[in-house]
Amino acid sequence: MIITGTDQHEAWRRRVMPPIERVRPGVWSVPVPIPNSPLRYTLSYLFLDDAGVLLVDPGWDSDAGRAAITAGLGAAGASLEDVIGVVVTHVHPDHHGMSGWLRERTGAWIGMHPAEAATLPARSWRDRGRSPATDRDWLLRHGAPESEVDELVMPEERVEELMGMAEPDRAIEDGDLLPLARHELRAIWTPGHTPGHLCLHEAGAGVLLTGDHLLPRISPNIGVHAITDGNPLGAYLDSLELVAKFGTDEALPAHEYRFRGLDARAADLVRHHDERGAEIMRAIDTLGSPTGWAIAAAITWSRGWDALQGMLRRLALAETLAHLEHLSVLGTVRATADSPVRWHTTRG
């Protein structure tokens, strides 16, 4: 992997905000701060076009975020009133949070993949009958200790905040060209981190906007949650194989810094998940008949399990369950029908 966003990388190393940059003619990178997050910022992208500006991943909604987007547009020679459309790679608040405010201010349309729209909290919680109580039951079912569940369950006030996230005006399907005159920007459906995650490819410019699908330094969280269906890790690995075909393009990620070597980075992530699966298999053999929580506590985390508290432990559990689900699909582990659910290997 070759770092191409050298100023971004230096800013990351120094723990400061990176600069606003023109990365291609008519394409700008704008950092938008994320409050109280180790990720620090989201890299939003502006595509200047004849009719106005298409904005990708506007970022976390805050006064500082609104100021950052306004400054980025100004540096590109545009203004808020020029924004005609907003595309979100996925609906996490550090990407989609400011979309509603931009639509209110500018009248811009909001686009996302239909599978992503289905995960909006107003749909995935209300339409599926989710609540903090059912969330608590899900955590206990996967072995979370009663003494820790109150720290892990989604607070009702936070759920209510997320209910107001903006609904899309447009569905963007795999392979769709976005409505631009100067750019041939094509949507690439890359499920895994979320069900409807999108990457965006501009072949003529030699760039792939990777969202959270492929980052230069960290592996995105691939998790099974209370509202998750299917095998997200399997989908993610398939999506990595797809993106590896764009190996000659420059990656424009939503966090950290630009780089080249998409194929090499994808191979690194596949290897990471293979190694993680093997570690989980060893943990099951050692523990005997463990819950997902017990497995998560027994495997390696960059900060160590003891350093993970609250929602970080919940994310670790979700990632562990995603691996277990994938291993179950492969036929190497099986789950019991007990509550809490327990896991066994199928070998031997």
At 225 the pLDDT is: 84
At 302 the pLDDT is: 87
Sheet with strand 185-189: strands edge to edge: 2-3, 259-260, 250-253, 207-211, 198-202, 185-189
348: pLDDT strictly greater than 60 = no
291: pLDDT strictly greater than 60 = yes
At 70 the pLDDT is: 98
Q: Nearest to residue 87, comparing CAs of 5, 183, 15? A: 183
**Digit-coded pLDDT (tens) for 172-198:** 999 999 999 999 999 999 999 999 999
Q: What is the pTM of this model?
A: 0.94
Asked if 175 and 187 count as a contact pair (C-beta separation under 8 A), the reply is yes
**Digit-coded pLDDT (tens) for 27-59:** 999 999 999 888 999 999 999 999 999 999 999
**What average pLDDT does this structure show over 242-256?**
96
**Digit-coded pLDDT (tens) for 109-128:** 999 999 999 989 877 666 65
Predicted confidence band at 158 (pLDDT cuts at 50, 70, 90)? low
The b-or-e profile of 78-89 (16+ CB within 10 A means b, else e) is bebebbbbbbbb
How many Å apart are CA 197 and CA 272, to the nearest integer? 21
At position 230, the amino acid (one-letter code) is G
153: pLDDT strictly greater than 90 = no
**120, 122, 125, 126: CA torsion to nearest 10:** -150
Predicted confidence band at 323 (pLDDT cuts at 50, 70, 90)? very high
Predicted confidence band at 87 (pLDDT cuts at 50, 70, 90)? very high
Chain mean pLDDT for the chain? 93
Q: Nearest to residue 88, comparing CAs of 52, 54, 122? A: 54
Predicted confidence band at 297 (pLDDT cuts at 50, 70, 90)? very high
At 159 the pLDDT is: 67
338: pLDDT strictly greater than 90 = no
Q: pLDDT > 90: what percent of the chain? A: 83
Q: Which of the two residues, 183 and 153, has the higher pLDDT score?
A: 183
At 310 the pLDDT is: 87
Predicted confidence band at 278 (pLDDT cuts at 50, 70, 90)? very high
Domain residue spans in the chain? Answer: 2-125+158-269
Cα 58 to chain centroid, rounded: 14
324: pLDDT strictly greater than 60 = yes
At 122 the pLDDT is: 77
User: Judging by beta carbons within 10 Å of its beta carbon (0-12, 13-18, 19+), is residue 68 exposed, middle or buried?
Assistant: buried
275: pLDDT strictly greater than 90 = yes
Predicted confidence band at 131 (pLDDT cuts at 50, 70, 90)? low
At 126 the pLDDT is: 66
Look up the CATH architecture of domain 2-125+158-269. Answer: 4-Layer Sandwich (3.60)
**Digit-coded pLDDT (tens) for 220-245:** 999 998 777 789 999 999 999 999 99
Q: Which of 26-35, 158-167, 293-302, 316-325 is predicted with the least confidence, judged by mean pLDDT?
A: 158-167
How many Å apart are CA 342 and CA 348, to the nearest integer? 18
Chain position carrying tokens 């020679």: 77
Q: pLDDT > 70: what percent of the chain? A: 95
